[in-house]
C-alpha cells in the first residue's frame, strides 16, 4: 500500500508562444513558465491535466469534474516571496556574450540546475510592486556597504535570505537572514530601510549559521513594529506570524476554501451526517477549519509543526472559538451551552507526527469523525495515514491538494471504500503549471 503510483501526467506541455512574456526574467529564473500562453490557454492546460488524472475514476463513480476556477488576478497575487543572496549571479547567454563584467552578486531566485547561483531579479511580477522596491533597495545598500553575499559552495558570506509577506490591507512583514550574530548591523540596515520604507509593519531578522538555508527551526528575532500581520478570509480573521503557513494567493484562497465548503456541505447532505465533529488534518494555522465554521461544533486539528498549532489556537480564539485540550472539557462546555439554548463551538489542536497521532487514540479521545478534511503537503498522505482513515471510515472526506498526481495516488488507495463525487480545480498560481484541486469523497456504505 505504501508504494507511490507511477501514473504521470499525459497532457502535453504547451510550447508554442501565444503572447510575449511580461517579465524580463522569463525563461531564466524558472518561476513563471506559462507566461507565453494566454490565460485562457493556461486554464485549459490545467483543466486537461487534472481531467487526465481523474476522468476514469469519476466515470466509474458517477462523479463530476467541475469547471476550473480562474484567479481574479494574473499578476501580483503572491503574498509571500523569499529571495536568496548569492555572490555568484547567474548570467544569461547574452550577458556572457557581451563580455561585460557583472560584479556585486545577486539577490533573487536560485537559478534552475545551478543552486549556488541566483538570478538577480530586478522586477518580479508575482508580488505587489513594493516587494521589488524593498528587494532592490536592500541589494544596493548591501553592495554599497560591501557586505559579503552568500557563497553556497564554501558556506561563507554574511547575507543569506530576504523574506517579504504582505496583506490585502497593505501590511508588510520583512525578515532578513544573516550568517552572523550582528545585532548592531541589523540596527543599521533596518534603521536606514525604515527611513526609506516607513510603511513596513513588522521587522524581523534571523541568525542562520547552518550550512543549509532552512529557517523553520530557527527563532525569528523581532526588531520593531507589529508582531504579526492580520488577514481575513470570508468572515474569519487570522493572524500571520513570520513562520505561519498561509495560502500565498489570498484572493484565490477564499475561492479554494469556498469550494471546500461546498464540497463538505454536499457530502454532509448526501450522507445525512450532522457534521458535529470535523477533523482538519494538516491544519496549519487552522485557516481551513475556521473558514468552515458553522458546519461543525467541534473542530479537531492536527499539524506536525508546533508553531503552526500555536497559531491555530490563537486564530481560533481570535474568532471567538474556545480551545480545549480534551473531549471532556468540550462536552462540559457544550452541556452548559445546551442549558442556555446557545450553539457552542470548540476547537482542539494537537502537534506531532500525523500517523502516530491518528494511531495513538485521537479518535477514541476526541470522538468519531463526522467528516474529515485533509490538505497534505505535495508528497500527499503517507500509507499509514490513509490506512487510519480507512479504519475510521468517516462518512465524508474532503481532500485538498496542491499536487493532483499525489492526490490521485491516495484516492486510488481510498477507492475501494470511497466514491469520488466531485473534483474542483482551482488556479492558485497563474503563469505557473501548478494547480490545486478539491475532491469530495463519500463512503460507499452510503450508496
> Could you list the active site residues?
402
Distance CA 332, CA 374 (A): 28
Side by side, the strands of the sheet bearing 64-69 are 64-69, 418-426, 436-443, 396-401, 371-374, 277-281, 298-303, 346-351
**HSE of 77 in the Cβ direction (CA atoms, 13 Å)?**
21
The per-residue b/e assignment along 109-121, b for 16 or more CB within 10 angstroms, e otherwise, is bbbeeeeebbbbb
Q: What are phi and psi of 26, to 5 degrees?
A: -60, 135
Those residues with Cβ within 8 angstroms of residue 10's Cβ, 6 or more apart along the chain or in another chain: 52
Contact call for residues 374 and 397 (beta carbons, < 8 A) = yes
As a whole number of Å, the end-to-end CA separation of the chain is 25
Angle between helices 183-196 and 129-144 (to 10 degrees): 130
Q: What are phi and psi of 300, to 5 degrees?
A: -120, 110
| Count of positions (residues) in the chain | 447
Distances (CA, A) of 423 to 10, 339, 383: 18, 41, 22
Q: Three cell numbers at 76?
A: 501580483
Contact call for residues 375 and 288 (beta carbons, < 8 A) = yes
Question: What single string gives the DSSP state of each residue in 169-218?
Answer: TS-EEEEEEESS--HHHHHHHHHHHHHH-TT--EEEEEE--SSS---TTS
Contact call for residues 249 and 403 (beta carbons, < 8 A) = no
Amino acid at each position: 500500500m505504501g508504494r507511490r503510483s507511477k501514473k504521470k501526467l499525459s497532457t502535453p506541455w504547451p510550447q508554442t508562444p501565444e503572447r510575449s512574456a511580461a517579465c524580463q526574467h522569463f525563461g531564466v529564473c524558472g518561476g513563471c513558465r506559462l507566461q507565453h500562453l494566454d490565460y485562457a490557454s493556461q486554464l485549459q492546460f490545467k483543466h486537461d491535466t487534472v481531467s487526465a488524472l481523474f476522468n476514469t475514476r469519476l466515470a466509474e463513480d458517477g462523479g463530476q469534474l467541475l469547471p476550473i476556477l480562474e484567479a481574479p488576478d494574473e499578476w501580483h497575487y503572491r503574498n509571500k516571496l523569499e529571495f536568496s543572496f548569492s555572490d555568484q549571479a547567474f548570467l544569461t547567454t547574452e550577458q556572457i556574450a557581451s563580455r561585460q563584467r557583472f560584479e556585486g552578486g545577486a539577490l533573487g531566485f536560485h537559478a534552475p540546475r545551478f543552486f549556488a547561483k541566483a538570478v538577480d531579479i530586478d522586477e518580479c511580477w508575482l508580488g505587489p510592486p513594493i516587494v521589488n522596491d524593498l528587494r532592490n533597495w536592500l541589494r544596493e545598500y548591501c553592495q554599497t556597504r560591501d557586505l559579503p553575499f552568500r557563497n553556497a559552495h564554501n558556506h561563507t558570506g554574511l547575507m543569506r535570505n530576504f523574506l517579504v509577506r504582505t496583506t490585502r490591507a497593505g501590511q508588510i512583514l520583512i525578515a532578513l537572514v544573516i550568517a552572523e550574530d550582528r545585532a548592531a548591523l541589523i540596527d543599521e540596515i533596518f534603521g536606514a530601510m525604515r527611513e526609506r520604507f516607513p510603511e513596513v509593519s513588522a521587522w524581523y531578522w534571523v541568525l542562520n549559521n547552518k550550512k543549509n538555508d532552512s529557517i523553520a527551526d530557527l527563532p525569528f528575532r523581532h526588531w520593531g513594529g507589529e508582531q504579526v500581520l492580520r488577514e481575513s478570509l470570508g468572515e474569519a480573521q487570522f493572524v500571520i506570524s513570520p513562520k505561519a503557513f498561509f495560502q500565498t494567493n489570498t484572493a484565490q484562497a477564499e475561492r479554494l476554501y469556498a469550494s471546500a465548503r461546498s464540497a463538505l456541505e454536499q457530502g454532509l447532505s448526501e450522507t445525512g451526517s450532522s457534521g458535529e465533529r470535523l477533523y482538519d488534518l494538516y491544519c496549519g494555522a487552522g485557516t481551513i477549519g475556521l473558514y468552515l465554521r458553522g458546519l461543525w461544533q467541534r473542530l479537531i486539528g492536527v499539524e506536525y509543526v508546533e508553531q503552526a498549532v500555536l497559531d491555530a489556537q490563537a486564530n481560533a480564539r481570535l474568532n471567538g472559538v474556545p480551545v480545549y485540550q480534551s473531549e471532556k472539557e468540550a462536552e462540559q462546555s457544550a452541556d452548559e451551552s445546551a442549558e442556555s439554548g446557545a450553539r457552542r463551538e470548540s476547537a482542539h489542536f494537537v502537534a506531532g507526527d500525523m500517523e502516530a497521532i491518528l494511531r495513538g487514540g485521537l479518535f477514541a479521545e476526541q470522538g468519531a469523525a463526522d467528516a474529515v478534511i485533509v490538505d497534505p503537503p505535495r508528497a500527499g498522505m503517507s500509507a499509514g495515514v490513509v490506512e487510519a482513515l480507512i479504519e475510521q471510515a468517516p462518512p465524508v472526506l474532503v481532500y485538498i491538494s496542491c499536487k493532483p498526481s499525489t492526490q490521485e495516488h491516495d484516492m486510488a488507495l481510498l477507492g475501494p471504500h470511497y466514491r469520488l463525487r466531485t473534483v474542483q480545480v482551482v488556479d492558485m498560481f497563474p503563469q505557473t503549471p501548478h494547480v490545486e484541486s478539491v475532491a469530495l469523497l463519500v463512503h460507499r456504505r452510503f450508496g
